[in-house]
């Protein structure tokens, strides 16, 4: 199982339509190149997607962070926060 790129996560639509929208990222001072992925738990197929948020001066203030579950080499998973809220 390969680690998905932020572009692959965007194309899968797992995080919804507005998460990677240009206006949303501009509001938070982000670009697609700011987003990185890393394995949170490779055995369970959980990937951490993260990017810093910037204030109006360009300083890093917060961190956008999401966990995505991946099934095999395809991103068919779900946004993990949604699963926990329904339980």
Dihedral, CA of residue 23, residue 29, residue 31 and residue 36, to nearest 10: -120
Residue 17 lies in a domain: yes
Mean pLDDT (whole number) for 21-45:
91
Q: With a threshold of 0.85, does the pTM exceed it?
A: no
pLDDT tens-place string over residues 66-75: 988 888 766 7
pLDDT in tens, 37-79: 999 999 988 999 999 888 777 777 888 889 888 887 667 555 5
Within-domain flag for 1: no
Task: Tally the domains of the chain.
Answer: 1
Q: Which domain holds residue 65?
A: 6-86
Q: Is residue 69 part of a domain?
A: yes
């Amino acid at each position: 199982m390969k680690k998905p790129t932020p572009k692959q996560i965007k194309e899968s639509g797992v995080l919804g339509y507005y998460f990677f929208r240009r206006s949303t990222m501009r509001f938070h001072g982000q670009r697609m190149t700011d987003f990185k992925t890393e394995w949170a738990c490779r055995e369970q197929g959980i990937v951490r997607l993260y990017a810093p948020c910037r204030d109006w001066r360009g300083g890093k203030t917060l961190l956008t962070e999401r966990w995505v579950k991946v099934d095999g080499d395809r991103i068919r998973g779900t946004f993990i926060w949604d699963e926990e809220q329904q339980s």
